[in-house]
Structure 1
Amino acid sequence: MQSGQGIQSELLPDKTLTHTVLDHIGDGVITVGKDGCVDYLNPVAEQLTGWACHEAKGQPLKDVFHVVDEKSREPKIHSIFDRNYGSRRQHPRKSLLLRKDGWEFTIEDSSSKIRDQQGNVIGAAIIFRDITELQGMERWMLYEATHDALTGLINRREFDSRLNQALAAARAEGRHYALCYIDINKFKLINETHGRDAADELLKQVATLLHSKVRDTDVLARLGGDEFAVLLNNCSIHNALEAANAFREAVRDYKFATNGEIISLGISIGLVPINADAGGVADVMGLADAACYVAKDKGNHRIHVYRAQDVALKQRHADLKWVQRIRRALEENQFRLFCQSIVPLNVPDAHSAHHEILLRMLDEKGELIRPSAFLSAAERYSLMPSIDRWVVQHALDLLDERMRRNQHIGIFAINLSAQSLDDENFLSFVIDQFDKSIVPPSHICFEITESTAISNLISATRFMSILRGMGCKFALDDFGRGFSSYGYLKNLQIDYLKIDGSFVRDLANDPVDHAMVESINQIGHIMGVQTIAEFVETQDALEKLIALGVDHVQGYQLGKPRPMWHSFQSLPPGGKIQ
């Protein structure tokens, strides 16, 4: 280590050049002005003190370079501006450096005055290095392994370790803890609108706000992304709720400024009590994560406290399991396409066979799972666009392969979700898939539910208009369920009207259902739209539908869903029921 006055000449002529040199040396260097306030920290000094250069600039040296005696822990004061300082050679001294976040380093440091060309003192430089047992990079690597680089808080790995220790103490000593799982509301929107730098600054400021509200005995961590956690030591659920409220209010009252805009913040908190029966780390973290999402679903600035027999949390847990299975099925192609025949009545179908494509999932044992088991979770967690993409791509691939073998295909109906219609990239994806395939768009019919079309009227109209222009057909599914939508039919260019199955099942025995089906069928025909009755399960219902003049029927009475490959030849061209 350089000591005494050896650094004076390097620091004097060109500050930019000097800083460039100091940025690449292995010792920590801090320069101060004559007023004793920090002017510059090199990267090593930033790491060892915990202060960024721009944060430390202008701060008193004692606040940034906080050194104490190793044994007495009394503060050590640098007297570098005393009159007699520098009259003799200065030897490096050992001290304990207290890092900003509480970590401690044993260092060796020396100081030197900085003079101008006339010999006047204009500042000073402090040079120091880490000489603890875990020196330099080894100690820093340990720190990096347990801390979040952005906020300086402990990371998920270290938090799990401390939570595990707390769980052991709860079992062995009967101690009580509480875990707060915290998520910043609308963080993704802020990130997308204002950029990554603003989002990173937001995370650092939220970390500071939370840190100001925790006790010395508590553990605050950044888990990743916009998620934080606080382990409250020796804390009842009542006190934990007060602490969670303090976190929530601190963030709610804070105004985040970025790019000339003031943004109000909010957080959602899942709160889980920890006792001897709490289970393992994964159990507690899973409950806390689920409780946080329940809080988020309830609206902004909410806290959800986990309790035994928590119905909302059980639903969340079930959904999360399905989300994992859905994502795995998408990645590993564990979905399967099935088809069910849509059969024409009385009038031969010029387009021959007509089928609706249905989806199944394979479980770990290779057993089929019906969509009613997993689609609600997919909708809640915005996975429907990914599922719809999978279906469109794989359906066209199968049909494309069939056509390349010069084999006949009819019309295949593909169901689309409301989320896909709202996805601005989904339309271009569908068009791209048609461009890659030899399947004529006229052989594809997209089914959209009545509620989806009405609630997304603008996007649905645009989507249908563009694809109809390419030759695709459209069916309005589950029509009549709301029965307030006849007026919307004028605004939707559709080819088929699918009568909701709730009216069809008991058609033969319920005069009200019979009247509803008759009414929908008549309206469809007046508008030049073909009608399809779904959920036809009995011969009596089928005969009633024939008498009413419904155009097509679908249901177990006509055939159960079959794997898509087996459904191409289910009817010969022009097939019909007499």
Structure 2
Amino acid sequence: MHAISKLLTIKNKLILSIALIHAILMTVFIIDLTERQKEFLLGESFQSTQALAETLAINATPWVLSNDLAGLEEIIQSQSQQIYLNFAILTNASGEVLAYYHRNPKKKNKVGHFIEVPQADPFSPSPEMTVNIDNLDVIDISTPIMLNQNQLGWARVQMSRENIYKSIQIITLEGVLYASLAIIVGGFFAWLMGHRLTKRIHQLIHITKKIRLGERNLSINLGAQDELQDLANNFEDMLNVLETSETMLFNAKEEAEITLKSIGDAVIVIKPDGKISYMNPVAEVLTGWSRNRAHNMHIDEIMHLFSDIDKTPLQNPVFLALQNGQPINLLSQSTLINRHGDSYSIEDSAAPIIDKNGNIVGAVVVFHDATKQRALQKQLEWQATHDSLTQLHNRQAFETHLDELIAISGKTPQSKNCLVYIDLDQFKVVNDTVGHTAGDQLLRQISQVIKKGLTPDAFLARIGGDEFAILLQNHSMQQAEKIATTLLNTITSQRFFWESKAFDIGASMGIAEIHGSLNKTAVLSRADIACYLAKDKGRNRIQAYIENDDNHESGQQILDRLSELKEALNEQRLVLFGQTLEPLQNQDELGHLEVLVRMLSKHGEIIPPGLFLPAAERFNLMPQVDTYVIKHSLEWLKDNHRKVGLMNINISGQSLADPIFNEQLIQRLELNHAFNHKICFEITETVAITQIADTIDFLNRIKSFGCKLALDDFGSGFSSFSWLKNLPVDYVKIDGSFIRDVIADPIDAAMVRAIKEIGDNMSIQTIAEFVESQEIANWLIETGIDYAQGYHFSKPEALDEIEFDSKQT
């Protein structure tokens, strides 16, 4: 084993690697060259034989017509100079040999004999060339002798292909020689590179042995300015630091034995009067003071602490530790401004130093730079309440603020507060026409347009894909309508340009008053209904929700949409679409497929889900929709189960909470044992967490039938990780808001890696949504994400029209 390890040095590995690469590449080259040459020679042989047969047929036409055997013999003998010609025969239409030549003069002359000729095709207007033999040894072709669409006879030629093998043997031999030469040359250069590299590495090894023996004052020069010399320079710097540290430790041994027990990142030791007796190097960096300069200076001169909140000066906690004789934690909002004016967010503790007699002989303050951690914490707190795409408040922050306004309205009935609900009219057109990237850019632009049109006290949030909400405190309905009108005019004046395409942008707006007697669901529902009516009236308009208004047709119009959906369910006009989930780590694995639903209008037009699923959710029709989708998905799966590894089917929160739906689903699974293992039900993270007590038992029942479970939109809430261990899921679909900017945003990248690591620890596979570029796909592959879904791989298509890869058939 030791001998083998000696052989497997860096130099030998380099030589073997380069030689192996050359050998593989040259082998592939030789095989490819030989095969190409063989195909070329075979094709050339076929063409020359065909040309010779056609030439004989043309030249023999008048002689066959006149039955001039002497002329035919002369014509056929003229081809004897063809080197690889085996034989040539001219016959009449009945197969009687009129002229004959064979390269072997001993062969009996067949003139006057009958031979078998190709049979005429009764459905062909004229006979065609016939290949009698086509193999690696010979090529034998018969060509009809024609005159004015009349067949006079046949010209048959057979050529030898023995020359092909000679050519291939020569090419193969030359290829082997060139390959050997390439391997030898490559190996030599690899040896030369390895020798130069390992020689200098051995120098470093020799230096480290000297260091281990106690030498410190060493100069390391490897003779070249490269990474190894940088490593050598770092060794020298480390030796200098090591020598200094050894001297300091020797001089301050007794003091270090006391302070090292509580040492953290930066350490400052003070005497009872507050003067500094010791600082470690990290404290020197953070405070900007060297240990020698700071010695015997008061700590208040070295550490200037301020509150992060109001920037007021703070008392150093080390004095509280001296007074109380107890460890004291620093405030989490403390900021240190050092000698050079640099600011650091710090946190940790201060503690008294007590000798063996119980006397306080000093104190130590231990702290570390928490600037990055605090920035990350603020970033995470910001992400919890903001939308990463538009930088606006998110739905969670919106609902919190709405609850606050409802509470204010309840306590102060005379206060006027309003909600403005905005739904973009052309967003789906942009998404479907030029993709999600363009849609994201449109959302960013529109969010800034809306934000600029509002006063600072207005609360603007993105609460859905293309839905925004504005909370206006101390605004009447008339004031809200005025603001909404201004915003609508601003939005409609915008045009969105993407890749030479221009889009007109519009919005439908609904306004509802906020009353203390209503909960947030009711207020939002009123605004939503008003917006819904604005869309039904032609879009690009404003609709206020007016209570007890006889002319208000919201109920009837929404019922019309509801009626349309019910008719579609009864008439089987919901159609199934699908979008593939591509395996990233195992390319040979069958891809997964997520089932999506669309509605077919009476006129045959495809209606996107955004136009009917909201009505289904609003009127509790989702169990019927989900039942329809599951029924038809299982029927499709029975006929196409060999095409997909797994079929993902969404279950809504309404359906999950419906006992009748649950029972019907269980009955279907009982009748579908053969294919249950290829079914994966998707539930959203929000539904899973908010209804966890009611759903875990049901989800476990589903799994008992062999089905898989996926948690959709994972990571959108902060309770994700804590609840994940309680949910019996097999997959988590990472929320697309993290995937879109994973290349540019380190926070998103860290979140995705964290989800992946937790998934691995819990044996849960990960799926990335909204993958729209190969760059993101490559990052996901490198990170170890198992599957990806998005426009980069495929767009939703009708289920029966999806073309699967050959591996999936």
Shorter-chain-normalised TM-score: which range?
0.3 to 0.5
Higher relative CO (Cα under 8 Å, sequence separation at least 6) belongs to: 1
Q: Please say which structure displays the higher CA radius of gyration.
A: 2
Normalising by structure 2, report the TM-score.
0.32
Normalising by structure 1, report the TM-score.
0.44
